[in-house]
Structure 1
Amino acid sequence: MTTTTVNRPTSALASHGTTVTGTWTLLQFMLRRDRIRFPAWTLGLSLLLTYFATALDAIVQSPEDLEGLSGFSGSPAGALFGGPGFGFDDLTIERFLAGQYGLYVAIGAGLMGLLTVVRHTRAEERTGRAELIRANVVGRYAQLTAALTLTAVMAVLVAMLIGAMMIGRGFDAGGSLLFGVSIGAVALAFAGIATVTVQLSEYPRAASGMAGAALGAAFVLRGLGDMAAVQGSGPSWLSWLSPIGWSQQTAPFVHDRWWPLVISLTFATATATAGYALSARRDFGAGLVPPRPGAPRAAAWLASSFALAFRLQRASLIGWSAALLVAGLAYGSFIQPLLDGFADAPDDLIAIMGGSDNLLAGYLGMMGLTMALTVGVYAVLAVQALRAEEADGRLEPVLATAVSRPQWIGSHAAVTAVGVPWLLLVSGFGMGIGAAASTGDGTLIGELLLGHLAHTPAVWLVLATATLLYAAAPRTLPAIWVVLGYGLIAGYFAPILDIPDTALHLSPFEHIGEYPLQDVNVVAVLVLTLLAGLLVQTAVAAFRRRDLVSSA
């Protein structure tokens, strides 16, 4: 009788492993995969703030210039789009930089945190790569621990870069360091939220969508609370329900309070701990919220590529519609207090808003631009979903039927294109209802509907550009976020940053006109619509020529 001895090194090693075995190796692998995203996020956020600081240095030449900035920033409108305005009664460059522009860097940090966690956890499970990794000597929590560690490294680096930049400009070292750390704390807070959402759904898009909704809610709560604080009445405590608000309450260069960051770190720790606990209660590859089983037979109306595209986007459209309706109602209901806050604003600020007789129209036009940029995010995410369909292998079975490539990509682009004006109308209607209730003027509903809907061609152009990037070179698709980011900077800060008209017109959102402050430019509407159509046609042609990819 022959005895065979089998050597099982993997089992032997596994018996001595822990739940975090392999974390360091996975972290190195994640750094290798994010060799472009890592510097893009960290350097991008710090360079954005550097640009703001450089522009402010160029345009603020006297105390009178600072006084003009403080008039807007210390008003309810400034609180909505910036923050509570600590120290704006004795404004300095560093206080304005942290108190007004810090919000947008904080939002970017929050996106960095949540997207990094989703990318390296739930997305890895969905593609099947995590299963291959777990077949080795890797602990149950190693993947999540490595993703959180990577996010923490990115947050610390962002904090250091921002702090070093501000110290290098001669700002107070303590306030500079506090401001940088407060930005990093936002990234950690939303990384913790993503740690929970990736356990709930088995789909990366749903996990990032839930975390993104939390980021949007944090922005709204902070805005409403800060507006109430500035005007001296209302629920100012809402700011303390927002992770963004916790960082802003540190008041760098004014009060230099470190203790609100204890709330941020406690929240990040608690949500991360909850994520670990939830991950132990679900099967690998599954979510705690199971997907609803479908019908045994498809409905007759689904027998087309357009119907399939609508079915895949239906849940997203419902969620976006509800969120924009609530946001519109909330912002519209604060219109009258905002107008009251402009009573003592300086003349140059009033001129920017359209003059003393057009303050309401100026604000409504600005909110139309805000909602257009938000709907632009929906359009980009819809195109990113196409890449996920292709990378996860669900596109090939569809194309194996009678559906052609032009039909598939064209149907998805068409459904998204129809969703754009719908979402703009929903947000405009919600804001119109809120504005009418706040001011008692029912005609504002019609003005807001038209003002929001007028931005449709600009969002269509963003959608068409994103579709072309996906169709021609899928890896370049993230570059479309630059278009939205530039549109935000040009739309909000052009009067303050003194952006030249030539550069300003590079944004598709600067051509339509901010109705009702400005008339709708019919020529621009037609030109942007035509350009969007041409880009979609080019995208269809490009998609027919390139090979499909089976992994992201």
Structure 2
Amino acid sequence: MSTLTHAPEHPPHDTRSAPRTRSGSRPLTGTLALARLSVRVDRIRALVWVLGAGAMGFYFAHAIQIIAEDDTALASLAGLYADPVGRMMVGPGFGMDDPTHERFFAAGYAVFIYILIALMSIFTVVRHTRADEQAGRAELVRANVVGRHATLTATLLVTAGLVVTASALVLVGALTAGYAWEGSLLVATTAAAVGLFFTGATATMAQLGESSRSATALSGGLLGLAYVIRMAGDAPEVGGTALSWASPLGWAQQTAPYVDDRWWPLLPLAGGAVVLAGLGYWLSTRRDVGAGLLPARLGRAEGRPSLGTPLGLALRSLLGTLRGWTIALVLTSLMFGSYAQTMLDSADALPPELAGVFVGEDIMLGYLAYIALFMAVFVTAAGVGSLQQVRGEETSGRAEYGLSAPLSRTAWLGAHLTVTIAGVLLILVAVGAAMGAGAALSLEEGGASRFGELLAAGVLKAPAVLSIVGIVTALLGWLPRLAVPVGWLLVAFSAIIGTFGSLLELPDVVFDLDPFGHLADYPVEAIAWEPVIWLTAIGAAGIAIGLLGWRRREVGRI
């Protein structure tokens, strides 16, 4: 008996010309299937993002025509952005020496559309890359016939599609307002370029950290840094300074729609998007699934005894999020407070429309009261972000592990709420202290007396913050899928009303829906205790209702 051995009649196909992964599949195998899956899973969330960006563009484009019906009113409003403080808030103020409705739209509102689309890109990329790896879904997908780069490619394609669709809706909103075609197309294209830039940036950031939280923090920090650099660059003079060109948002606003209609500043945005996306691909080949390139800090050899308690475990889970918000908001408050002397010096030269944004006859105190409100809205965002992480603990299944111990549901959620509430209160104190310190150091006279006032101004916003935390907690207990979206919607609503409320002709009922609008603008106005009491009561009631719902519903409910 013998075994015949001979060469095969047909030699195997030469695969050297087609690069393959170790599993034998091509790098992009399964890309379209994963893209369809991402669209299917994200259909509701994506629709909300796209329609929200489109609605914002449509509203801003038409609102200015209602606010300023004639040239006289428009010219007076243009003074908002001819002033350094106004340029610091919204941009370099191109065309405000000869304002039109379309120029006002581009100079005053377009940057917020860019930021919203950038946030959509950040959250979408993180959710379909790092968040899937963290939850273990990526490994299940890669166990199939899927190329190494298929997931990232599908994510980039889906995100780019959302960005382009949202930008197209912004174009429709501008055109329906009767604005020039070229300038409107430039605004929409710039919005798309900003979105794609942060899509590529997030593709890189997703390779660095070990969690979706770190990827979001890195990408969001980049966006925040871009805005701060733009503020510092645009404030000194109309058209911005050299520092404006150090920011992606600065590049976007240097296009000067409806004025110069410059397209070439989009080149660094487009080039940056391509380079950063390519870097993301390259970095993804240098790490394992679920791992990050940045070295993780080594933990203790033995866990602290506090980790054996609900409160200690909650503090360990939420501390990173709250600490990141604290650092960012304290630095921002310190910077805003340092403008106190500038406001005092330019009080007489401020246009009446800008002065009208600030409460009271003392422009400097009105400015600081406005900043206290502005920062309190961001503190609320920190609270909503913390509750979003609590929801993530549930959807990822980690909450069930915790509840498998001899631990009641009320104790688990109550511990996380305790850390969240204590965290936002401490951030309010830190923000007020930083703003007071900045004002005290910048003011030539009476600076020390302002420290205590501004510290109190920050703390007195706590009832409004707690009311929103209570509403989100109530939804977390009974309607968990709505909790996080509604929380962010309330934050955005408060930010828009607090920033543009005095310029928008809205019904009183809309202003009544803003929790911050019921509180006195201390230190300009005397403290009104009635809204403090009932806003605190709303927060307490929401927390109680949320705890009750949490005890009754199924844990892990999606």
Counterpart CA distance in 1 for 2:67 and 2:299 is: 59
**Is the 2:377–2:491 Cα contact (8 Å) retained in structure 1?**
yes
Aligned position for 1:218: 226
**Is the 2:322–2:386 Cα contact (8 Å) retained in structure 1?**
no
2:315 to 307, 310, 317: 310
- Say which SS state the counterpart of residue 286 (structure 1) adopts: coil
**Is the 1:124–1:130 Cα contact (8 Å) retained in structure 2?**
yes
Determine if the alignment matches structure 1 residue 277 to structure 2 residue 282.
yes
Aligned position for 1:416: 420
Aligned position for 1:463: 469
Q: Which string of whole-angstrom CA distances, capped at 9 and with x for unpartnered residues, describes residues 133-171 of structure 1?
A: 111221111100111111111111122211122122211
Q: Any unmatched runs of 5+ in structure 1?
A: 4-10
1:545 to 543, 552, 556: 552
Aligned position for 2:450: 444
2:436 to 424, 429, 432: 432
Aligned position for 1:6: none
Counterpart CA distance in 1 for 2:475 and 2:151 is: 31
Counterpart CA distance in 2 for 1:64 and 1:328 is: 35
Query: Which residue identity is paired with 2:330?
Result: L
When residues 359 and 146 of structure 1 are mapped into structure 2, their CA distance, relative to the original with a 3 A threshold, is same
When residues 370 and 352 of structure 1 are mapped into structure 2, their CA distance, relative to the original with a 3 A threshold, is closer
Aligned position for 1:333: 338
Q: 1:298 Cα deviation (Å)?
A: 2.4
Q: 1:174 Cα deviation (Å)?
A: 0.2
Query: Which residue identity is paired with 1:370?
Result: F
TM-score of the two chains, using structure 1 as the length reference? 0.93
Q: 1:338 Cα deviation (Å)?
A: 4.0
Q: 1:278 Cα deviation (Å)?
A: 1.0
Q: 1:80 Cα deviation (Å)?
A: 2.2
When residues 196 and 327 of structure 1 are mapped into structure 2, their CA distance, relative to the original with a 3 A threshold, is same
Q: Which string of whole-angstrom CA distances, capped at 9 and with x for unpartnered residues, describes residues 354-374 of structure 1?
A: 35x411111111101111111
Counterpart CA distance in 2 for 1:542 and 1:509 is: 27
Aligned position for 1:381: 385
RMSD of aligned residue pairs (Cα, Å): 2.1
**Is the 2:95–2:259 Cα contact (8 Å) retained in structure 1?**
yes
Counterpart CA distance in 1 for 2:402 and 2:426 is: 27
Q: 1:97 Cα deviation (Å)?
A: 1.1
Matches within 5 A, 1:107-256: 107-230=115-238, 236-256=241-261
Q: 1:16 Cα deviation (Å)?
A: 6.8
Q: 1:227 Cα deviation (Å)?
A: 1.0
TM-score of the two chains, using structure 2 as the length reference? 0.92
**Is the 2:125–2:199 Cα contact (8 Å) retained in structure 1?**
yes
Determine if the alignment matches structure 1 residue 67 to structure 2 residue 75.
yes
Query: Which residue identity is paired with 2:299?
Result: G
Q: 1:349 Cα deviation (Å)?
A: 4.0
**Is the 1:159–1:177 Cα contact (8 Å) retained in structure 2?**
no
Counterpart CA distance in 2 for 1:51 and 1:504 is: 17
More moved, 283-292 vs 540-549 = 283-292
Q: Which string of whole-angstrom CA distances, capped at 9 and with x for unpartnered residues, describes residues 187-208 of structure 1?
A: 1121122112211122111211
Counterpart CA distance in 1 for 2:398 and 2:510 is: 41
Q: 1:348 Cα deviation (Å)?
A: 4.6
Determine if the alignment matches structure 1 residue 103 to structure 2 residue 108.
no
**Is the 2:467–2:538 Cα contact (8 Å) retained in structure 1?**
yes
Query: Which residue identity is paired with 2:337?
Result: G
Aligned position for 2:518: 511
Q: Any unmatched runs of 5+ in structure 2?
A: 4-14
**Is the 1:469–1:476 Cα contact (8 Å) retained in structure 2?**
yes
2:459 to 436, 442, 453: 453
Query: Which residue identity is paired with 1:454?
Result: L
**Is the 1:82–1:99 Cα contact (8 Å) retained in structure 2?**
yes
- Say which SS state the counterpart of residue 236 (structure 2) adopts: helix
**Is the 1:17–1:139 Cα contact (8 Å) retained in structure 2?**
yes
1:401 to 402, 405, 411: 405
Determine if the alignment matches structure 1 residue 479 to structure 2 residue 486.
yes
Q: Which string of whole-angstrom CA distances, capped at 9 and with x for unpartnered residues, describes residues 430-459 of structure 1?
A: 222222222222222222111111111111
- Say which SS state the counterpart of residue 111 (structure 2) adopts: helix
Counterpart CA distance in 1 for 2:50 and 2:344 is: 38
**Is the 2:359–2:521 Cα contact (8 Å) retained in structure 1?**
no
**Is the 1:75–1:341 Cα contact (8 Å) retained in structure 2?**
no
Query: Which residue identity is paired with 2:441?
Result: A
Q: 1:536 Cα deviation (Å)?
A: 0.3
Aligned position for 1:53: 61
**Is the 2:31–2:153 Cα contact (8 Å) retained in structure 1?**
yes
When residues 113 and 94 of structure 1 are mapped into structure 2, their CA distance, relative to the original with a 3 A threshold, is same
